[in-house]
Amino acid sequence: MRIYIAGQVTGKDYKTAIKEFDDAEKMLEARGDEVVNPTRYCDISWSWEKCMRVCLPLLTECDGIYMLRDWKKSRGAKLEHFVAIKLGMKIENQK
């Protein structure tokens, strides 16, 4: 399965956010998923809008979305969750 990771980046310590996404990526790959980690496609200097223009097309190419624990604190992750629902994608929440 190709799965997209969604969670909070903006408003969080950047190194902490990147580690959380990277840890999720490793776990998902270990179980056999092909992973799209959006933090690998955006630069810290970019605006939220620019990141969403890059990330939303990546999401639409996936079969599912993996929601990190803090996703409800993120405007972008909430948008990605909404899109995943509307596209009928599998949604998995981090435990």
Q: SS3 letters for 23-54?
A: HHHHHHHHCCCEEECHHHCCCCCCCHHHHHHH
The per-residue pLDDT for 89 is 98
**Can you give the CATH number for the domain in which 6 is found?**
3.40.50.10400
Burial of 38 (0-12, 13-18, 19+ CB in 10 A): buried
Give the residue numbers spanning the domain of 88. Answer: 2-93
Q: Which residue is it, tokens 């599912």?
A: 64
Please, what is the average pLDDT of the chain? Answer: 96
Q: How many domains does the chain have?
A: 1
Q: CA-CA distance, 66 to 84, in Å (whole number)?
A: 10
Average pLDDT for 52-78: 97
